[in-house]
Structure 1
Amino acid sequence: MSPRRDVRVERTAQIIEAATSLFAQHGIDQTSMDMLAKAVGMSKGVLYWYFESKEAIILALLEQMFNQPLLDVQALLQAPASTVARLTQLTTNLAANLEALQSLVPLAQELYALSARNSSVQSFLKGYFQRYRASLATLIQQGLERGEFSSIDPEQVAWHLAALYEGSTILWLLEPTPQHLAKQLNAALQLLLKAIVVA
């Protein structure tokens, strides 16, 4: 006897996928729960059984969008390569993930703008970046303990590295260049590494 499918998981994923498409096409404010219910072929009442509000859908979407970068850095904490090699791999992964989602650039910009007036979105992003910086700090600490880096404050370096990633990404989203994002991010990473790598 085959195991029963988890219909709730499937339907939740379907709703988030449809919401992503509608938000990207029409904007978050202009997308109603009625539009979303129609897109997934269910009544609004059933839709509310899965998500109690549009805000709950937005938070689930944020979780999905930001989960991979955090998983990437956490996975690299266990990798045997040098810290410089792992930071380079992390940078490459980040660029690849972002370039794959380029069609969602307007939505990403809207989500960031929404954080200025929505405390739940702001709280999510703040918590995400705290966890991301903490994982980066652990990675930097490993490099320090292995003698790869000079005497530095891992948390401070992690803060600047996160700012480097985020700032470079926003500049690229606002003004894409013929160069790939990976090239831009790796160039920025090398500038930072020059200041901390033991010669």
Structure 2
Amino acid sequence: MGTAREEDASAGRGEGGESRQTARRTQILQGATAVFARLGYHGARMDDIVKESGLSKGTIYWYFTSKEEIAVELVHQLLRAEEESMELPREEGVTPEARLGAMAEDFTRSLREDPVRAPLALELLALGQRIPAIKTYFAGYHEKYLALLAELLGAASGRAPTEKRVRSAAVAVTAMVDGWALHEALNPEHAATGESLGEAVAVLIDGLRS
């Protein structure tokens, strides 16, 4: 019987090997997500991820050489999902306010549908201060997000606000997004109240118009 490395390398060359490797990576990342959300990055061990994933240690190390490498991949995964949300919706006739509202509601919904998403996002964001690769990815995404928000907020204002005022409003929205993740992580039961990030963004747009 071959080792986990040999088996996965062989599977990668055979029919269906690519889908099997994708499934294995997903299984590992799902296990790491649960562990990081429950124990935090620094409290988690590779053995915890091995146990949570249900795979062997050899298989884990075939795909990821360290806990840090897993964390970096989770950041990639998280930001890819956020970028998809940034693209919604782009149908003709959709107002800037509606796009901003849809993005905010999509974010709120994603946090409530996946209870570990908020604590995981906060954990990964904190790692950006210590892991250069994570800081780089978050910084690049942040600037792209700010540019889109400034564009939409400027259009939604219905006036001609200064570039500085629009930029400040965009920064405020990003702070609201991060704050909302913290709010959800600390108060998961408050979802029943019907509070949403979309309503908070609408209040900010009203202020920008005044």
TM-score > 0.5 by shorter chain: yes
Gaps of 5+ in 2: 1-14
How far off its partner does 1:42 sit? 2.7
Partners of 1:134 and 1:47 lie apart in 2 by 38
Distance 1:79 1:99, change over 3 A: farther
Contact residue 111 and residue 184 of structure 2 kept, 8 A: no
Question: How many percent of aligned residue pairs carry the same amino acid?
Answer: 25
Q: Write the deviation string for residues 97-130 of structure 1: whole angstroms up to 9, x where unpaired.
A: 1112223444333323333333333222222212
Of the three residues 31, 34, 41, the one matched with 2:55 is: 41
RMSD between aligned residues = 2.9
Partners of 1:69 and 1:139 lie apart in 2 by 17
Distance 1:84 1:21, change over 3 A: same
Q: Write the deviation string for residues 145-198 of structure 1: whole angstroms up to 9, x where unpaired.
A: xxx621122444322222222233324433457455863423321221113348
Within 5 Å, which residues of 2 pair with 1:1-199?
Answer: 4=16, 6=18, 7-38=20-51, 39-44=53-58, 46-77=59-90, 79-140=92-153, 143=155, 149-152=158-161, 153=163, 154-175=166-187, 178=190, 183-197=195-209
Distance 1:127 1:42, change over 3 A: same
In terms of mean alpha carbon deviation, does 13-22 or 157-166 score higher?
157-166
Q: TM-score, normalised by structure 2?
A: 0.74
Q: Write the deviation string for residues 42-63 of structure 1: whole angstroms up to 9, x where unpaired.
A: 343x423312221111011122
The DSSP-based 3-state class of the residue aligned with 1:125 is helix
How far off its partner does 1:79 sit? 4.9
Q: Given residue 127 of structure 2, which amino acid in structure 1 is its aligned partner?
A: L
Q: TM-score, normalised by structure 1?
A: 0.77
Number of equivalent positions: 191
Gaps of 5+ in 1: none
Contact residue 85 and residue 106 of structure 2 kept, 8 A: yes
Q: Given residue 69 of structure 1, which amino acid in structure 2 is its aligned partner?
A: E
Contact residue 77 and residue 138 of structure 1 kept, 8 A: no
Distance 1:128 1:182, change over 3 A: farther
The DSSP-based 3-state class of the residue aligned with 1:102 is coil
